[in-house]
Amino acid sequence: MGYPQIILLAFYAVQVIYAMFNDGKKYTIDPMWFTASSLFTLSLLILGGFFDVWGVAQLVYVPLATITWGTGFVKSGQKVYFNFYGTVITGASLLLLYLAGGFFS
């Protein structure tokens, strides 16, 4: 496991901890946050070799990431609640997808 994998795990850990402390609180959706977060994650995945070989995991990730990014723009300015359990489930699902795609090999 290299630096991209360690940084991505730390990034997800910070997101989960932040969601845990803010569970149930409202926040305003900012599309620039989604864009920065998506580009940061994408760059770590590229550096970590996730896209070196294209398989099912990569073909599932690209539309999911695109939908998430687009949703951030559609819901721009709306107030939503932090959901700790949703954050944990989403993070775990993505980490399993990365594992299946060879990111942690």
Contacts of 69 (CB under 8 A, 6+ apart): 34, 35, 38
Is the distance from CB of 47 to CB of 100 less than 8 angstroms? Answer: no
Phi-psi region of 82 (alpha: psi -120 to 50; beta: other; left: phi over 0): beta
pLDDT digit string, tens, across residues 1-56: 899 999 999 999 999 999 999 998 988 888 888 889 999 999 999 999 999 999 99
Q: Which tens digits make up the pLDDT trace of 87-102? A: 999 999 999 999 999 9
- pTM > 0.75: yes or no: yes
Angle at 9 between CA 5 and CA 11, to 5 degrees: 115
Enumerate the β-bridge partners of residue 28. Answer: 79
